[in-house]
Structure 1
Amino acid sequence: MSSVFRCQPAYLESDYDFVIIGGGTAGLVVATRLSENPDHRVLVLEAGSDLAEDPRVKIPAFFEALKNTDADWGFVSQAQPQLNGRSIGMNQGKALGGSSALNAHVFVPPTKGLIDAWETLGNEGWNWNILQKYFTKAYTSPPVDESSRTQLGIDMWTATNDAAKGPLQTSFSGDHAHPIRQAWAETFASQSCCMTNDPFIDPSVGSFSCLASIHPTTKERSYSASAYYSPIKNRNNLDVLTNAEVVKILFDSTDDHITATGVQYKYNGEARSVKPGKEVILAAGALQSPKILELSGVGNPILLADNNIDVVVNLPSVGENLHDHAVCSIGFSAVNHLDTLDALIRQEPEALARAMGEYQTKKSGPLSYVGVTTYAYMSVLQFLDPEGQEGLKKLLENERNRPSLAEGIENARDRAYYEVAKKALLGNEPTGAYLSVATQNVLPVDQTTDSPPGPVPGKFITLGVMLSQPLSRGTVHIRSRDPSEAPEIDPKYLSNPIDMEVLANHMLHIEDLARSFPLTNLLKQPLERRDPASNLTDLDAAKRYLKASMISMWHMAGTCSMLPKETGGVVDKDLKVYGVQNLRVVDSSAIPLISTANLQATVYAFAERAADLVKEAWDMK
């Protein structure tokens, strides 16, 4: 049902100061912060519905049930040549709260070096020392009993981020006594690869127990709609309009200046428009924000002409620089006494009923989390010894792996990112993020093998790794001038040979982890794999497995990048769109380099800083 939150809007549509396109993770953060000043009026236009009372949103383990429903845009990529021609599902939230209503709750920070690289790429003032306080502003760090620290694997932390008292509520989800956390911490500690501080204070190489955006008391999803918007939804100067599909941004051109003056949208089948007094703020996400810019005439003139759209601003980097975290995993048979979520994955009726009863009466049990409790940020260990360093240097210097030296914005952008990735690879910075899941993951399989395509009997621990700093860059562009048509998405996964080599080496390290004490205590010996094809005996086997089974982590970013214009930027360091006045982009599309692991926490911090930039520009106290 379409609705305006607050029954009687206090202002006509032409009386808003700010119009925010997208009521997702970033959009609701910015709306909440801008409406703190009662003298400024804010309207949010959200294409999805309010699902705040939907149990699929509220109950942590039910997030999978939202995929490919009305709560999901249901995007699918173009066929990917490096993945055996497979198209990849790219789920994105279509609801109030956006993808924060749909994601798997993992709340982890990027590393310091990665955020500092944003500044290295040409964004003055965007570094860890500045952005860390915005992470702290966004979430509340959960209290932990001293007796639980060893069980959680955080007893070696010398400092925790106790200053974090923000809207988003987080927890160490699941049963604190589950042995995976302690075994994970001790396994990495034995290899001198364990973080010694809360990663939100000092993120570096090593393992840690991860937070989840699950309320520590109610055990329900905490997301931008419930944490930021719900407590302040009755503000007289804030309206949120759901089921409002934005058609395009409106512009005026006078005195050689192009100014964003309004937004055209569809609501209840009618065409409407709204003209803010100050700014249009775009927060539709990495796949939708470039689409809206292109529909509005901001983008590559050739593409716009092909779709019969008049050019307002010649900005060819719109929709370019798409990158995402590729992820793959191996499921290992767990010892019989270990608690896992496999019965839920198989949708066994008795297990589901028992889990629902425990959740309803005690707010605990398998429905209170999704099985992801541990992480580790790691470099490729095979590259650290002298022989590995030489091999790595040859890989980096191979002519087919290096970006072109020719002129052009795309080549300049690729060279800038190549230098960042090269520094990370040669400098022992994390290039992979490892995680454990207390259940089996059902991945795509090679149809020509005997790999099981669905859930199988038994208990499993899944060890996975995502590629933290991909060099492969893709695109997202409109297919037509029809705003209801999905964009064409081509991530070009693993198209840069360095990405395939790095991720394949990380996959081989999963084999080493599974044989490392005390993690071995949780896995049947000798090792048994859920999928026979995941027995990775060498690098070629790892590459074959990636081509058949790699998927997306849904961490798309970069399509309206904050970069210098000459290296592929769409917005400047203040998030203003080049060539346009009064138009900013504040979501993951503007993030120039994706996080080390899951993107959720970084988007919250990014949006918090974006709100401050807007406030500073308009002298808002």
Structure 2
Amino acid sequence: MDTELYDFVIVGGGTAGIALAVRLSEVSDQRILVLEAGLDNSDDLRVKTPAFYLALFGTDSDWGFSTVPQGNLDGRNISVNQGKGLGGSSILNAQVYVPPTKAIIDGWAELGNDGWDWDTIGPYYKKAFTLPQIPEESRQPLAIGNWKPEDAKTDGPLKLSFPGNSVHPIRGLWAETFRRKGYLMEGGPWSDASVGAFSNLASVDPVKKERVHSARGYYDPVKHRDNLEILVDAYVNKIILENGQPRPKATGVKYTHEGKPKIAKARKEIIIAAGALKSPGLLELSGIGNVNILKKYGIETIKDLPGVGENLQDHLLCDIRYDAEDQMETLEDIVKQDPKVTAETRQGGLGSLNGLTISSGLLTFAYLPVMDFIAGTGRDSLIKLINENRPPISAEPENVRARKYYDIAEKTLLNPKRPSGAYLTAIGESVVEPDLNPSLSTPSPTDKYLSIITILAQPLSRGTVHIVSNDPADRPEIDPRYLSNPLDMEILARHTAYIESIANSEPLRSALKQPLQRSSPLAEITDLDAAKRYIRSRAISMWHPAGTCSMLPEEAGGVVDASFNVYGVDGLRVVDASVVPLLPPGNLQSTVYAIAERAADVIKGAYGFT
């Protein structure tokens, strides 16, 4: 069996893995190997063209994960699409690039992670990207007001932009609607503001007009480096752990490349960056995890670590599609993959179709509290809900962890300046999937749509992802247990009901057909019970699984410490979304890059690299 020796072996060439590998390769005398199970599809038109990202779902670029039936979502299996290929999920996400809030990152420190407060971690977010230069005449149509992105002095590998038609009216309509409500984020999301509406940036190159993923942004400019090797079509089956004193040590990995079994050895470390749904399984297959699960599948326990595969958290979203006025520019032809439009796009390049193809259609965002809970009887109702659903006091790790999370969620819900929900628009049919109740669909005289989407920003429900056998090829069992915490349904129902308030507020209302025409009668939400029925039939994943190898104290069910080290094993770290102890309110992309940037400095510091 072929064996090669490196300083660091990184399992997973995705968002975090590539960014981390490139940063480590800055130390020229260190040899880095990245093993990616998928292929390099960077030149695929569906990867390059921002509007075509949905066309990648269900292809070889998608792991095609699905949950077990979710009891609180009418027993539906929910798709959790994750990128398989060089760049990972950054090759098929919707490109939305938004920050967390200061309070959420400070919450990571509150959970027991020293050095993970916003003052320390905030700069790592900005290290990953470069904000665009915006001409003065473009600021008003982009609705960025007093926000001057260039003032942030960023100079990272990812070139961000405000893609699509720069004068599309949705940005201005969204901003003015929330300005009248008192919730416009004047300084933009990268300021100190925590709530409000804004035009969102995207990981789309402002010059090339194509998607910027980790391989394009981080790897392409440095692919000449002799000390950085990336293998695609390389599936890792197991971590090699050697008995050491006082603890076992990770020394290599067994993998299959081009159908042949191989071994890669590491002088210093093995770093797992396979994502929230793959990393825990690799640990379990290697003997690190809950001893009862490992025994069930005949796997020798090297380190009993019950937190592996636990604490799965994900953003649920729910949307309502409205008929838009005829003059509204939408992505209907792109979403439907009309053959004529696709052909014209191939001939005309990424800048054709008046900029339609250079955007996923997600141009606006907002971080908001539950408006019903801000004052008066609504606040009294909130306090009652919080007290009714408070976790019991117990010494078991699961309860210790649950109470810590609940304390942070309570602070968020009780503070009107912290968001419990996020909202965004899609200029077209829902980017999520077709109507889940086609028999109830309302015939529409138009083919112009605007979808308003809400996201449960800080879910309390926690699920699991575990292996189902000792065969590395078998898919894991994924059970997010969506809405299993009753408070989640109460919060999401109120945010979903608020979509109607947004749609009925001027000037956004003027862009929609009147009276409002929705995709289904179920979407006509008149009370909270109606909102809950709609959520059960409609809500799906935002594709942001995290937390399955959580950065938490071991006694609270943690898997890695604040330096990404796996508890009880030397020479082994996890660096990807699985370590995220608490989801940010919006899209996860920027946080994964920040984690990789932080990990690079931590690892360099551990070995005295400069």
Contact 1:20 1:43 in 2 (8 A): yes
Quick check: 1:109 aligned with 2:81? no
Please give the alpha-carbon distance, in whole angstroms, between the structure 1 residues aligned to 2:343 and 2:172: 30
Partner of 2:294: 304
Distance 1:261 1:373 in 2: 46
Provide the TM-score with structure 2 as the length reference. Answer: 0.97
Corresponding letter in the other structure for 1:596: P
Q: Secondary structure at the match of 1:466?
A: strand
Tell me the secondary structure at the aligned position of residue 43 of structure 2.
coil
Mapping 1:562-601, distance limit 5 Å: 562-601=551-590
* Amino acid in the other structure paired with 1:47: A
Give the structure 1 partner of residue 401 of structure 2.
413
Write the distance in 2 (CA, Å) between the matches of 1:86 and 1:427: 34
Unmatched 5+ residue regions in structure 2? none
Alignment of 1:95 onto 2:90: no
Q: Distance in 1 between matches of 2:327 and 2:467?
A: 52
Match of 2:386 among 396, 399, 405: 396
Q: C-alpha separation between the residues in 2 aligned to 1:27 and 1:364? A: 35
Seen in structure 2, the aligned counterparts of structure 1 residues 449 and 345 have a Cα distance that, compared at 3 Å, is same
Residue 183 (str. 1) matches residue 183 (str. 2)? no
Contact 2:210–2:350 (Cα < 8 Å) also in 1: no
SS in 1 for 2:19: helix
Q: Structure 2: how far apart are the matches of 1:516 and 1:356?
A: 39
Structure 1 range deviating more: 177-186 or 356-365: 356-365
Map 1:517-596 → 2, pairs under 5 A: 517-596=506-585
Give deviations 1:386-410, integer Å, cap 9, x for gaps. Answer: 2111100110111xx2222122111
Match of 1:384 among 374, 385, 394: 374
Q: 1:142, 1:159 → 2: CA distance?
A: 7
Structure 1 portions without partners, runs of 5+ = 1-11
Contact 1:358 1:365 in 2 (8 A): no
Indicate the larger mover: 181-190 or 246-255: 246-255
Alignment of 1:182-261 (within 5 A): 182-261=172-251
Provide Cα deviations, 1:155-211, integer angstroms capped at 9, x if missing partner: 132775531110011100111100000111111111111112131232410011000
Deviations 1:510-566 (A, max 9, x none): 100011111112111221112221111110000000000101010010000000111
Alignment of 1:617 with 2:606, yes or no, is yes
Q: Counterpart amino acid of 1:216?
A: P
Runs of 4+ in 1 over 6 A off after TM superposition: none
More displaced stretch, 125-134 vs 109-118 = 125-134
Q: Secondary structure at 1:18's aligned position in 2?
A: strand
Cα distance in 2 for residues equivalent to 1:107 and 1:361: 21
Q: Structure 2 CA distance, aligned partners of 1:490 and 1:154?
A: 40
Find the aligned partners of 1:571 and 1:166 in 2 and give their Cα distance: 27
In the superposition, relative to structure 1, how do residues 367 and 95 fare at CA in structure 2: closer, same or farther (>3 Å)? same
Cα-to-partner distance string for 1:435-476 (whole Å, 9 max, x where unaligned) = 011001164655595136x99952011100000000000000
Matches within 5 A, 1:319-468: 319-360=309-350, 362=352, 364-398=354-388, 401-428=389-416, 429-441=418-430, 443=433, 445=435, 447=437, 449-451=439-441, 457-468=446-457
Distance in 1 of aligned mates of 2:7 and 2:346: 46
Q: Secondary structure at the match of 1:134?
A: helix
Distance 1:208 1:162 in 2: 16
What is residue 3 of structure 1 aligned with on the other side? none
Q: Does 1:277 align with 2:301?
A: no
Letter in 2 for 1:371: G
Alignment of 1:122-161 (within 5 A): 122-157=112-147, 161=151
Cα-to-partner distance string for 1:56-106 (whole Å, 9 max, x where unaligned): 111111111111111111011000000000000011111000000111111
Does the aligned pair in 2 maintain the 1:161–1:200 contact within 8 Å? Answer: no
Distance 2:609 2:512 in 1: 56
The one-letter code of the counterpart of 1:588 is: A
Partners of 2:144 and 2:328 lie apart in 1 by 21
- The answer as to 2:18 corresponding to 1:42 is no
1:473 to 450, 456, 462: 462
Q: Aligned partners of 1:297 and 1:161: how far apart in 2? A: 49
User: Can you list the C-alpha shifts for 1:561-594, whole angstroms capped at 9, x where unaligned?
Assistant: 0001111110001110000111111100001111
1:349 Cα deviation from its structure 2 partner: 3.6
Per mean C-alpha deviation after superposition, the further-off stretch among 443-452 and 304-313 is 443-452
Per-residue deviation, 1:233: 1.1
The code of the aligned residue for 2:536 comes to K
Whole-angstrom CA distance in 2 between matches of 1:531 and 1:172: 32
Contact 2:52–2:334 under 8 Å retained in 1: no
C-alpha distance in 2 between matches for 1:46 and 1:185: 41
Aligned residue pairs total 607
SS of residue paired to 2:249: strand
CA distance in 1, matches of 2:294, 2:403: 27
- CA 1:158–1:227: 2 relative to 1, 3 Å: closer
Name the stretch that deviates more: 517-526 or 32-41: 517-526
25-34 vs 247-256, greater mean Cα deviation = 247-256
